[in-house]
Amino acid sequence: MPSFQYQDFVPAQRFQRTLAFSPQGDHIAYSSNADGRSALWTVSTKGGAARKTAQIAGRIVRQAAWTPDGTGIVFTADHEGDEQFGLFRIGLEDDEPTPIALAPECQRLLASRPFDQVGRRLLYAANDRDPSVQDLLIRDLATGEVQRFQPEQNVMFTPVAFSPDSRWLLISGERSNTEADSYLVDLLRPDAEPECLTRTHGNGLFEPRSWAPDSSGFYLLTDLWGFTAAAFYSITDHTLSPVAHHEWDVEELDAANGTLAWTVNEAGRSVLYVRRDGTVVQPDVPSGVISMLTLSPDGRAAAMLLDTPAHPEEIVVVDLDDAVPCRLTDGRPPALHTVTPVRPESITYPASGGREVHGFVYRPSTPGPHPVLLSIHGGPEGQERPRYAAFYQHLLHQGIAVFAPNIAGSTGYGSAYQKLIYCDWGGIDLDDLDRAVQYLRSRPELDADRIAVFGGSYGGFAALSCLARLPHTWAAGVSICGPSNLVTLATEAPPTWRNYIDVILGNPERDAERLLANSPITHADAIKAPLMVLQGARDPRVPRAESDNLVERLRDRGVHVDYQVFPDEGHGFATQANEVRAYTEAATFLVTHLRGDRT
């Protein structure tokens, strides 16, 4: 078998979470880094070569939507990951995009379908009035006039869409990832203010997604009945009725022209359901993870970002008349033409309180016992799922197993499980990770004396916590933009996150003692294992100073630390060359310390 490097496993492109059908349904707009830098692309739904439509030096395209007449696309883009999003428009025949709103130090968020029926009014959110408040704005593209709606205290407005008849404005008002309400504005009333429709049902998730075609109501996601379900809210009689209720969470949801489509997270795997003419079917799409779902305006096709363990994430379109899926992109890397990707084993292990933690074990095809990488997902409200991971496949090719658990706080197992970590970072989650190591010791084909820990963002925090606070001998650790000081993290979070941080992490003044006690920096003197720290200089969520301080502490004690700062990156990696470099060096670091290679 040939020897492959990490880059040989890397897909040719990575996508942002945006897909938009053209009004005619014959093209899709999306954002990827197919040529090494972020750009806006379009591709025919029949397949063929994609067209690069817009690219701005140093900017990352995040969201996209077609104008109703199909002649252009509006999109948001930030500068090198700083999450200060400008708003742009480009005509399909234009060479360069035109700014719509570009004042610096402002976050702008497009609605999922941002235009009214005639395409004159544009719906988005911005924190231009007050950095800590995300208002809702309607911009008249002909006159430049802006109509503004302000949220209640501790609520962050996210725009959804104008109703099909352009009378109503649908808004999501979030207080945290598990608490959101549906708001409505009657645009026929000049003095109208946003009205909360779902508060009478108590606190919980009531996240609006799509309008009914006759503007009589809208579809939303709610955890009112336990697991997250799809429901319909009727404007005429103010009733909330379940539409799709499973023993797993409904995740993606969209409606168009009488068609309703949704995905269900079944133990990490996405299952697609479509309801047309009163009949529900399950289109036959490859088993994997659907991270984005949108319907064509006529409701006859569904587009998604689909990721499977054996095939990297791609844009897939399903013709709902014949239920045949078609990949519009193909970013398979060179190694996949020779190497068969390892598929994970789904397992559970016991945790505190009678709980079970679900996770995935990836084992190399060569004989063991194998050294192990304990990989911790970000979030913390995220989920390890059966998808293609170049980093995992490269390490497996090097004879290293990977264990990726969904510890307390993970999504996909109901809101109660997700909320276990609220205001307890470094508590119940760390106990779950301790028990993860104990589980690894029960597997004879794995070498529990050679374990490294890895994570990014929250996962980086958890990795640092493992190294600093768990009584195990670690072979190495890698933290990518991981916070080391929870007080600093809470204090320096983006202004619009203030209430969210108070709910999920804690208040930096009221809870300072607890936050500091659970911070890796407090226990840094216990870290002995070799450590790699990767940090974006422009990171708006985890300031560089967090990593600087930790690295200095460790180096003063003689701990081996490989510290690398990326001057043109924010929280994570948006530039393909930086991402490849970072994970190549992380893989080399881990192989060296897990296998003992010194070459």
pTM score = 0.84
Gap between the Cα atoms of 128 and 105, Å rounded: 8
DSSP-assigned beta bridge partners for residue 207: 221
Check: CB of residue 134 under 8 Å from CB of residue 156: yes
Confidence grade of residue 322 (pLDDT, cut at 50, 70, 90)? confident
Residue range 331-350: mean pLDDT, rounded: 92
DSSP, collapsed to helix, strand or coil, labels residue 147 as strand
Number of neighbouring beta carbons within 10 Å of residue 356: 11
Hey, what CATH class is 342-595 in?
alpha beta
**HSE on the CB side for 69, CA within 13 Å?**
7
Count the Cβ atoms, other than its own, within 10 Å of residue 411: 22
CA 468 – CA 489 distance, rounded (Å):
18
Q: Delimit the domains of the chain by residue range.
A: 342-595
Residue-level pLDDT at 597: 54
Residues near 392 by beta carbon (within 8 Å), at least 6 away in sequence: 342, 362, 375, 402, 404
Over the stretch 110-156, which tens digit does the pLDDT of each residue have? 998 999 999 999 999 999 898 888 999 999 999 989 999 999 988 99
By the 8 A CB rule, do 136 and 110 touch? Answer: no
Q: Which residues contact 53 (CB under 8 A, 6 or more apart)?
A: 29, 39, 40, 41, 42, 73, 90, 92
Q: Model confidence over 279-296: pLDDT tens digits? A: 999 998 999 999 999 999
* Whole-number Å distance between alpha carbons of 2 and 8: 11
Residue 598 pLDDT > 60, yes or no?
Answer: no
The secondary structure of 236-280 as a DSSP string is TT--EEEEE--SSEEEEEEEETTEEEEEEEETTEEEEEEEETTEE
Question: What is the edge-to-edge ordering of all strands in the sheet holding 279-281?
Answer: 249-256, 259-266, 269-276, 279-281
- Cβ atoms of residues 367 and 395 within 8 Å: no
Task: Residue 402: count other Cβ atoms within 10 Å of its Cβ.
Answer: 24
Residue 595: in which H helix or E strand, if any? helix 576-595
Highest mean pLDDT among 28-37, 316-325, 398-407, 481-490: 398-407
Work out the average pLDDT over 178-207.
92
Give me the pLDDT at residue 471, please. 92
- What's the rounded mean pLDDT across residues 17-31? 96
Is the pLDDT at 1 greater than 60, yes or no?
Answer: no
Q: Which helix (H) or strand (E) holds 466?
A: helix 458-469
Rounded to 5°, the CA angle 493-494-495 comes to 110
Closest listed residue to residue 410, CA positions, set 422, 398, 393, 400:
422
Distance (Å, rounded) from C-alpha 211 to C-alpha 413?
Answer: 27
Residue 358 has pLDDT above 90, yes or no: yes
- ∠ CA 378-379-382, rounded to 5°: 90
Contact 151, 133 (CB under 8 A): yes
| Residue 56, token pair as written in the block | 């701005």
- CA 215/CA 166 separation, integer angstroms: 9
Given a contact cutoff of 8 angstroms between Cβ atoms, the answer to whether 134 and 142 are in contact is: no
For helices 390-397 and 576-595, what crossing angle results, to 10°? 30
> Coil, helix or strand for 369?
coil
Q: Rounded to a whole number, what is the distance in angstroms from the first to the last CA of the chain?
A: 20
Give the position of tokens 């995300």: 134
Examine the pLDDT at 75 and tell me if it is beyond 60: yes
Q: Are 475 and 594 in contact (CB under 8 A)?
A: yes
Q: Is the pLDDT of residue 9 over 60?
A: yes
Q: Where are the alpha helices (DSSP H) in 441-528?
A: 458-469, 486-492, 498-504, 512-517
Q: Quick one: pLDDT band at residue 2, thresholds 50, 70, 90?
A: low
Token pair listed for 97: 């995009």
